[in-house]
Amino acid sequence: MTEPIAGLAGVSKSFGSLRAVDDVWFDVAPGEVHALFGENGAGKTTAMKILAGLLQPDEGQVTLRGRSERLRSRKDAARAGIGFVQQHFSLVDELTCAENMLLGQPTGGFLIDRGSAASRLQELSTRFQLHVRPETLAGDLSMGERQRLEILIALSWGTSVLILDEPTAALGVSEFDALRQIVSGLKADGVAIVFITHKLPELLSVADRVTVMRRGRVAWHGRVSDTDPEDLVIAMVGELPANLQDARETRAERGAEPVVRLVGVSTVPRAGAQPLSDISLELYPREIVGVAGVAGNGQRELALVLVGVWPPDAGRIEPDDVEAAYIPEDRALDGLALDLPSARNAIVRSHPRLASSFLRRLSPLDVNRFTRTIMSSFDVRPADPHARTAVLSGGNQQKLVLGRELAESPRLIVAHNPARGLDLRTALEIRKRLLGARDEGAAVALITPDLDELLTLSDRVVVLYEGALVGDLARDEITATNLGRLMSGMG
Amino acid sequence: MADLAFWSAVLASAVRLTVPTLLAATGELVAQRAGVLNLGLEGMMISGAFSSFAVVVATGNWVLGLLAGVGGGLLIGAVMVVVSVRGGGNQIVTGLALTLFGLGAAAFLNDQLRDALHTVETLPTIGIPLLKDIPLVGRALFEQNVLAYLAVLLVLVVAGVLRWTRFGLEATAIGHAPGSAAAKGVVVRRIRSVATLIAAGAAGLGGAAISIGAVGNFGPNMTAGRGFVAIAVVLLGRWKPAWTILGAFVFGFTDALQLRLQNLLDVPVQILAALPWVAVLLFLAVGSRLSHMPAALGRDLPEIG
Amino acid sequence: MTQAVDPRPEEIQGRARSLARLWRDSTIWALLVAGALALVLGGLLVLLIGVNPLDAYRSLWDGAFGSRQAIGETMLRFGLYSMIGIGLIPALRANVINVGAEGQVAMGALLAGVTAIALQEAPGPLIIASAALAGAVGGAAWALIPALMRSLLGVNEILTTLTFNFIGTFVLAWLLTGPLQGSGAHLAQSDITPEHAWLPPIIPGTRAHLGLILVVLVALAVATFDKTAAGYRVELYGSNPSLAQIAGIRPARIIVATMLVAGAAAGMAGWMQVAGVDRAVYGTVARGTAFVGILVVFLGNARVAGTLAAALFFAALSTGGEFMQIGAGVSPELIGAIQGVALLLVAARLRRRGAA
C-alpha cells in the first residue's frame, strides 16, 4: 500500500455538549477505497467534513502528505486537492451541468466562459469515465447522472482525495453498479476515495479498507479482505443492553383487530424522500413495534403514511381514519408552532373538544386549565400557558408535544425518534409515557435509530431498509447480529 | 378606420410611453432573477422622477439630471437593501413601505419647493436620418429621446450580464435554489443586494424618463402605477430580457390607445387596457410550474449567506 | 383523501415564521413606538424645509380634531380604513397577504351602487341592507379568483391581487363611462343613488355616517372570531402550515375563507363610500385605498384593538394633514411619507431571528 495522502490524527470535535467526533485516527492512500461505516450520528460525516476543511477540529490535526495542515475554507481544500460530495446534492436544476460546475468555483473572474467550462467538464468526464453532457440541464438528469455531475464538480476542485457521503442513498440497484465502475475507474487513476456508508453489501463490493465508527469513536479498523462482515456489524451496533434479557411477556392482543393495517403500501419518489416499497404491516393494540433502520431509509415517509397525512400511492391503509398521534422527529418543522404561546400548541388535538357548543368559542379559562393539566402531568417547565413555546428547552418542548398528542387517548401513536437530542432524564420520562400509553391499549410505532431505545421499549422489531420492511423479529429473536445485518442490508 | 398617419402617431406615442416601464422592468428583472420581489419599484421611480427634475431645474444640465435620477432611485434602493436584504425584514412589506414613502416624500418636496421649480425643456429628441422616414414605424423607432435608446442599451447590457458574468449566473442560481447555491459557496446576501440596487437605479432612470424625458415637469402621481406594471412586465417576459421589451410595449401600446380612442373594433379601450393584465393572470396560473419562474421569488433568506 | 396541499411549502413556511414573529410581540408598544418614530422622522423632514415641526403638528391636530367638522371627517376616514384593515386580520394571521383592497373596494362600490339604483322603489332600510350585502359580495367575488389560484395552484396571492387591482380599475372605468354612466354625467360616474337610501350622518353636521356602526359590528365579529376554534385554526396554519396539515386542517379552506372575508370587508368599505359620502358610484371611489388597509393592519399587529388604533392614527393624520398647508405651510403630502416610514419600521421588526 502506498503512503497515505490525507488523514486525521487524534481529531475531536464537539457541538455543545455532544461529542460528535472523539479521538479519531484515519487515513487514506492514493488508489484505495477506504470505507467509513456506521449508523447515522456515529460521526462519519462530521469527521470527513473536518478532513475536507469544511469544519475545524477542536483537537487533533488534519494531515496532508504527512504534514499537518489547517484547512480553513473550501479554497484551502481545493488547493489541497480534496473534493467532497455531500449526501444531499446541491445542484440547481435550471442550470446546465457546465453552469453548475461554474457556481462557487474558487477561481474565476468577473466574466464566465461557458465554453471553457464545458471543455473542462468534458475533459474530466473523459478522464474519469463519468459521462455527462455539459449542455444538459441538471434537472433533466437521472439520480445517477446527478451524482456523476456532483462527483465531477468535486473532482474539478481537486483530484487527490474524493469523499463520497452516503453515495447510494438516492440510487437504485442498477445505478449502484454504475457507481461501482466509477469508483474502480477513479481508483485506477490514483484518486484516494473515502466511501461513507451504512450499507454493508455495497461496502464489501468496493472497499479495500474499512473503519467503523460508533458514537464518535473508531470501533474497528482493518482490511476488508481480512474481516468477517459479522464483526463489522457488531462493531457498528455495539453491545446490546442487558435488559433485553428481561422476561417480559408481550401483551399484544394478537387476536384482536389490528389498530391499523398497511397492505402493499408504496409511495412515489418525492424530492429528497425515500419512496416506500410494498410495505405490509399490522399494528395491534397493546404493543410497541420498533421500526429500526438507519435514517434515510423511509422513516419519515412511513410515519406520515401511518398518521394519515400522506395517502399511499399504491396499496391501502385500513382503516383510513384512525385517531393517530404523531410525535415527529423535527418538532420545529411539524411538531410545534414555536412563535405561539404554549397553550396554543397544547390544544392542537383537543381544541374541537374544548370549544363551547355555541359559537365554538375557546374560553381562555378552559384552554389554560387544560394546558396546565398537561404541563403538570408531563412535567413541562415553565408551566406557563402564556409563555412563547420557543423559550422552552428542547426537552420541555418534546414533553409538551407528547402531552398534547396523548391527551385524546389515541389508538395509534407514531413516535419518530422521540428522544432525539434530549438529556437522559427527559428521554426516560418520554419512554415511560410511551410504555404507559401502550399499557392502556394503544398501538405504538416507535421509529428510531437508537438501538437502546428500540430494545428497551419494543415488543417486536421490524427493520426499514431502502423503503421496504425487512424482517419482523419478536423480542426473543433480537440479537445484535440479526438487527445489524438487517439494518445494513445483509438480509 | 384610422389611417397610416394616425397609427404612426400611436406607435410613436406607444414607444415613448414604453420607455419608463422598460427601464424599470429591466432592472427589476435582475432583482427578480435573484429572488427579490421588489414592490418598492414605484417609490424608486417617483424618487428618480423628482430628483432628476429638480437637478435639471437647478443646473439646466440634463446629463446631471439623468445621473440624479439614478441616484434618486438608488437612495430608496439602499434602504431596501439595509432593511430587507441584509436586515432580514419582510421583503413585501418593506417594498410597499418604500413605495408609500417615496410617493409621499417626492410629492412633499415638490410642493414645498414649488416656488423654486418650473417647467423645463424635455430631453432633446434624437432622430436617425433616413431610418426615421420609414413609414409607420420610422418615427416610433428612430425618432425618440436619448432615454429610449438608453433603454434598449440597458436591455442588452442586462442580457449580457445575466448570460456572461459570474454575477449573472450566481443571481440566477440564487433565484432558483438558494440553498444549493449557498452550499456551493455563493454569497447570497451580497448578490441580492447588488441586484436590488440595479433595479433601484434603473427604476430611478425610468422615473426620469417620465419627468424630464416626456413631461418637463413633476406631478405627485406621475408614475401612475408604472412600477407595478414593470413587475407585471417581468412576469410576462418570463424573466428574459428580450421578452421584457415586448411585454413593456404591450402595456405602452394600450396606454397610447387609451389616450386617443374610445373604442377599437367595438371593444372599449379600457377592456383593451385590462387585457395585458389578464395575460399576466393566465401566465401566473400556467407558468408557475414552468422552469423560468425563480422558485425563491419573494422569499426572505436571512439565514443563508 | 386528497387535500390541496399548500404548494411551495418552503416559501409559505419562510413567510410564516417571519410574520408570526410580529404578531406575538406586544401590540400597544409596537404601535406607539412606530407611530412616535414616524412622527419624529416626519418632523425632521419638516425641519428640513424650514418649518417648526411643532407648528406643523399643532395644525395637524387642529385639522384632525379641532372642530366638529374636523372630527367628523376624521371619523369618516377612520371608518374606511378600519373596515378594510379589520377585514385583513384573519388573512394576515393565516399568512395570506391580500393587497387587492383597491380592486375589491371598487367592485364592492359598483355592485352596491347598482343594487341601490335597481331597488329604487323599495323602502330605504331594505335598499341599505341589500346594498351593503351587495358590496360585500362584490368585494368577495373580486378576491375569489386570487384565493383559488393560491389554494389550487400555489400562485403567490400578492401578484394576483395586485393584478386584480388594475383590472378592477379598468372595468370600473369602462362601466362608468359606458353602460352605467349616469344620465347627464360627463365624468366617470353612475346615476345618483336613491335619496332615501343615503346613510344619515351619525355626528350631526358632519359627513360621518351610520356606516360607522357597521364598522363596530365587524370589529366585534372579527374579535370574536379570534377566540373561536376556527380562529385558532387560522392562527395555527399561519404559524406552522406543516403542523396544521398534520392536525387535519385543510389549507384551501383557510386560504379561501380568509381571502373572501378580506374582500367582503373591502367591498363593504366601498359601499360605505357610495351610500354615505359620494351618493353615486364614482370612478375614483377606490382612490387612496390601495395600501392603507395593509398599513393599518400591520401597524396594529393584526389585532382588532391595534388595527382600530392605527386606523384612527392615520385617519387623523390624513384629515389633519390637509390643514397643515393652511396652518403651517406644510404640504399634506408629508402624511404619505410618514405612512411609509411607519410601515418601514414595522417591516424592520418583521425579522427572523439571527438576521445580521
Domain spans of chain C, in order of start: 78-320
Domain ranges of chain B: 4-287
Question: Using CB atoms, which chains have 3+ pairs under 8 A with B?
Answer: A, C
Q: Containing H/E element for A390?
A: none
Q: Is the pLDDT of residue C57 over 60?
A: yes
User: How many whole angstroms separate alpha carbon C167 and alpha carbon C161?
Assistant: 10
Confidence of residue A244 (pLDDT cuts 50, 70, 90): very low
Contact A111 B166 (CB under 8 A): yes
Of the candidates A172, A110, A108, which has an alpha carbon nearest to the alpha carbon of residue A146? A172
Residues of chain A above pLDDT 90, percent: 26
Q: Which residues contact A330 (CB under 8 A, 6 or more apart)?
A: none
Instruction: Give tens-digit pLDDT for B28-51.
Output: 999 999 999 999 999 999 999 999
Mean pLDDT of chain A: 85
Any bridge partners for residue B126, and if so which?
Answer: B144
What's residue B125's pLDDT?
85
Q: Is the pLDDT of residue C301 over 70?
A: yes
Q: Is the pLDDT of residue A96 over 80?
A: yes
Q: What is the mean pLDDT of residues A61-71?
A: 84
What's residue B158's pLDDT?
96
Q: Contact A145/A100 with Cβ under 8 angstroms?
A: no
What's residue A238's pLDDT?
75
Amino acid, single-letter form, for residue C137: V
Chain B segment 37-96 residues within 8 A of C by beta carbon are: 37, 39, 43, 79, 83-84, 86-90, 92-94, 96
Highest mean pLDDT among A129-138, A178-187, C262-271: C262-271
Q: What is the mean pLDDT of residues C43-59?
A: 83
**ipTM for the complex shown:** 0.90
Mutate to test the interface with A, among C19, C93, C220, C227 (most CBs of A within 10 A): C227
Alpha-helical regions (H) of A308-391? 331-334, 342-346, 351-354, 364-377
Confidence of residue B173 (pLDDT cuts 50, 70, 90): very high
Residue from the list B87, B104, B273 with its beta carbon closest to the beta carbon of C336: B104
Q: Is the pLDDT of residue C263 over 60?
A: yes
SS (H, E, C) A310-321: CCCCEEEEECCC
CATH code assigned to B4-287: 1.10.3470
Q: Is the pLDDT of residue A286 over 70?
A: yes
E-only strand ranges, A99-155: none
Residue from the list A339, A352, A361 with its beta carbon closest to the beta carbon of C227: A361
Instruction: Give tens-digit pLDDT for A39-65.
Output: 777 889 899 989 988 888 899 989 888
What's residue A271's pLDDT?
63
Instruction: Give tens-digit pLDDT for C161-217.
Output: 999 999 999 999 999 888 888 777 777 777 787 777 788 777 777 777 888 899 999
Contact B298 C158 (CB under 8 A): yes
Of the candidates B123, B167, B137, which has an alpha carbon nearest to the alpha carbon of residue B8? B137
Strand pairing class (A324-327; A412-416)? parallel
**CA closest to A150 among chain B residues:** B184
Domain A6-237 architecture:
3-Layer(aba) Sandwich (3.40)
Q: What is the mean pLDDT of residues A117-139?
A: 87
User: How many whole angstroms separate alpha carbon B205 and alpha carbon B71?
Assistant: 9
Say if pTM beats, i.e. exceeds, 0.80: yes
What's residue A11's pLDDT?
92
A102 CA: distance to closest CA in chain B (Å): 8
Confidence of residue C351 (pLDDT cuts 50, 70, 90): low
Domain ranges of chain A: 6-237, 242-323+410-487, 343-409
Q: Containing H/E element for A208?
A: none
Q: What is the mean pLDDT of residues B115-130?
A: 85
Candidate from A177-191, A470-484, C334-348 with smallest mean pLDDT: A470-484
Fold agreement (A6-237, A242-323+410-487): yes
Residues of chain B above pLDDT 90, percent: 59
Backbone angles phi, psi at B144, to 5 degrees: -135, 175
Of the candidates B20, B26, B186, B203, which has an alpha carbon nearest to the alpha carbon of residue B98? B203
Burial of C293 (0-12, 13-18, 19+ CB in 10 A): buried
Of the candidates A192, A185, A188, A131, which has an alpha carbon nearest to the alpha carbon of residue A163? A192
Q: What is the mean pLDDT of residues A403-429?
A: 88
Residues of chain B above pLDDT 70, percent: 97
Residues from chain C that touch B280, judged by Cβ atoms under 8 A, are 159, 163
Q: Is the pLDDT of residue C44 over 60?
A: yes
**CATH, domain A242-323+410-487, list 3.40.50.300, 3.30.310.50, 3.10.310.30, 3.30.1330.200:** 3.40.50.300
**CA closest to B294 among chain A residues:** A94
Residues from chain C that touch A347, judged by Cβ atoms under 8 A, are 232
Mutate to test the interface with C, among A348, A359, A400 (most CBs of C within 10 A): A348
What's residue B305's pLDDT?
45
Q: Contact A103/B169 with Cβ under 8 angstroms?
A: yes
Q: Is the pLDDT of residue B265 over 50?
A: yes
Q: Is the pLDDT of residue C136 over 90?
A: yes
- What's the gap between Cα A68 and its chain centre? 32
Instruction: Give tens-digit pLDDT for A419-449.
Output: 887 877 888 888 889 999 998 889 999 998 8
Q: Containing H/E element for A51?
A: helix A44-51
Amino acid, single-letter form, for residue C223: A
Q: What is the mean pLDDT of residues B232-246?
A: 91
Confidence of residue C353 (pLDDT cuts 50, 70, 90): very low
Candidate from A213-227, A343-357, B53-67, B119-133 with smallest mean pLDDT: B119-133
Q: What is the mean pLDDT of residues B209-215?
A: 92
Strand pairing class (A468-474; A460-465)? antiparallel
